[in-house]
Amino acid sequence: DSAENEVDRNKCCTLCNMFFTSAIVAQSHYQGKTHAKRVRLVLGETPSLPTPT
């Protein structure tokens, strides 16, 4: 059942394994550094470094 796998983004972030008490707290998390860093790690993207020329 796909409904079982659907998670309310305003209640938890499965990527960071965090739970929120409100949508405002959730929004704050999604805009924060912790979540952004986690997204990069999961997607396998390394932080962009300037390439030597």
- Give tens-digit pLDDT for 5-19: 556 888 999 999 999
Q: How many helices (H) and strands (E) does the chain have?
A: 3, 2
Domains in the chain with CATH codes? 2-37 (3.30.160.60)
Sign of CA dihedral 13, 18, 31, 35: negative
What sections of 1-53 are H helices per DSSP?
Answer: 2-5, 23-30, 33-43
Which of the pair, 52 or 24, is modelled with greater confidence? Answer: 24
- Give tens-digit pLDDT for 27-42: 999 999 999 999 999 8
Q: pTM of the entire structure?
A: 0.65
pLDDT at 49 over 80: no
**Model confidence band, residue 1 (pLDDT cutoffs 50, 70, 90):** very low
